[in-house]
């Protein structure tokens, strides 16, 4: 059985007694590929001669509209708490610089989409539950049991006071 334990420490740059934040997690996989038509990349650049001067896009202009053999990275294979976050994952009382701790688990073996467990990563998302906005995120590769794991010190970016959701004059 393969279970991922995700540990997250969140520190805020301000204090609040009624903060509205929650965490969510997305498990992604790199190196995914398949040989059925469902795995083909739809290529809207096919035949576009305006791309002849683009080193990056020119090869795509030369390919068919449906391209096989593509290897995909950062494919979401599981989502935990997507929407507005996991209820209760963070306390509404936040103290500037004091980390809040959260952990949750995910059973990888129950997911038929996963092709190679060694290519998994986890992203943690910090949601504002009032707006549904993701205000910060961090991604980490999944470490083996012998390695120290976890995403630490997720700190929300600084918002200008005019962008503060409460318009109360402080900087988040």
**C-beta separation of 85 from 26 below 8 A:** no
Query: pTM here?
Result: 0.78
Average pLDDT, the chain: 85
Per-residue pLDDT reduced to its tens digit, 77-102: 999 999 889 999 999 999 999 999 99
Element (H, E) at 138: strand 134-141
Residue 150 above 80 pLDDT? Answer: no
| Cα distances (angstroms) measured from residue 113 to each of 34, 60, 73, 81 | 11, 27, 14, 19
Please give the pLDDT value at position 145: 53
Sequence-distant (≥ 6) Cβ neighbours of residue 106 within 8 angstroms:
3, 4, 6, 25, 27, 78, 80
Structure tokens at 47: 């035949």
């Amino acid at each position: 059985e393969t279970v991922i334990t995700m540990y997250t420490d969140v520190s805020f740059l301000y204090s609040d007694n009624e903060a509205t934040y929650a965490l969510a997690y997305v498990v992604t996989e790199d190196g995914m590929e398949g040989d059925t038509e469902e795995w083909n990349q739809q290529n809207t650049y096919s035949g576009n001669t305006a791309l002849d001067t683009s080193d990056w896009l020119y090869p795509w202009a030369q390919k068919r509209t449906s391209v096989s053999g593509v290897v995909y990275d950062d494919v979401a294979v599981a989502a935990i708490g997507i929407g507005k976050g996991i209820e209760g994952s963070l306390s509404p009382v936040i103290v500037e610089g004091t980390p809040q701790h959260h952990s949750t688990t995910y059973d990888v073996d129950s997911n038929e989409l996963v092709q190679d467990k060694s290519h998994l990563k986890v992203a943690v998302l910090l949601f504002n539950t009032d707006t549904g906005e993701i205000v910060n995120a961090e991604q980490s590769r999944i470490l083996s049991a012998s390695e120290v794991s976890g995403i630490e010190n997720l700190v929300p970016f600084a918002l200008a006071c005019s962008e503060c959701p409460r318009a109360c004059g402080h900087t988040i």
